[in-house]
Amino acid sequence: MEIIENVSVKPYKTFKKVGSGDNAVCYLNKNNEVFKCYRNYKYVLDFTTKPSFIEKIEKLDVIANDTYKAPKRVLKIDGRIAGYFCDYVNAKPLKNMKSSEKIYDIFSNYDKLVEDTKKISIKNFRLRDIHELNILYKNGTFSIVDFDNGYFVNNNSEEMEDITRKNMERIFYEIVKKIFNVRVDQIPYFYDKKFEKFLHKLDPTNSDDIKKLCDWLSDMCDNANPTLSSIRRNVLMKKETDNYYNKYF
């Protein structure tokens, strides 16, 4: 990881703002890189000066690949992490996925997502705080950004397959939420109870299970490649408030 020491963040703030959150603001520079600039709030200063946070951020470049847009340069000021640079992705958050998207198209490059997730899992990295704003999507391709809350596990604490499964469950959970248009406090109920049981047991790392998911949705909609709006109209029976995460994973 390249470390840039004691350089002012002001020049980077003149670039185009492309996103903001509670802890940071993101800017797009002329090299097509995103600079994530941490805010100067006290609670942000507190966690960006913690040795464990600094150590983690400085080694995140080891998980960077085509799907996972991890930091490649870090800016430090007075010993704290002031921000970092990562590659820009020309895609929109999963939250903004249109209901006109078609199910087979959504999963057309899903194997690449699983493959790259295995790569970060080999590095013993566990995802946390995965949600519809840090999963990006365009034309069947998913990208993952923002790893501040992820963490490296001890080499012997978990097998790589277990880490991969848990990482993919977090991502797949968000994709399923979007497909069926449910909030975190809701669960979908289906006309076809066999399909509901299948969804509960589906292995998100298994390409055969993903194909079966798409085929089943296609059959229920009587459409070779149904849109999300068609799926929601033909497959869902009702929605009731419940803890979706606990039910499915």
Per-residue pLDDT tens digits for 149-192: 999 997 665 677 899 999 999 999 999 999 999 876 666 778 88
165 backbone φψ class: left, alpha, beta (φ>0; ψ -120 to 50): alpha
Tens-digit pLDDT profile for residues 62-121:
999 999 999 999 999 999 999 999 999 999 999 999 999 999 999 999 999 999 999 999
CA distance readout (Å), 171 to 28, 32, 63, 133, 192? 25, 26, 16, 11, 24
> Considering just the CA atoms, what is the radius of gyration of the chain in Å?
20
Helices (H) and strands (E) in the chain, counts: 9, 13
Residue 225's Cβ-side half-sphere holds a number of Cα atoms within 13 Å equal to 8
Residue 239 phi/psi, 5° resolution? -130, 135
Which two three-digit tokens encode residue 203?
A: 């292995």
**Domain ranges in the chain with CATH number 1.10.510:** 92-248
Mean pLDDT of the chain: 90
Contact 113, 127 (CB under 8 A): no
- Provide the pLDDT for residue 158: 65
Contact 36, 83 (CB under 8 A): yes
**Under CATH, domain 2-87 is a member of which superfamily?**
Phosphorylase Kinase; domain 1 (3.30.200.20)
Tell me the CATH architecture of domain 92-248.
Orthogonal Bundle (1.10)
- Provide the pLDDT for residue 160: 75
**Domain ranges in the chain with CATH number 3.30.200.20:** 2-87
Distance CA 124, CA 69 (A): 17
Query: What does the pLDDT average to over 214-223?
Result: 96
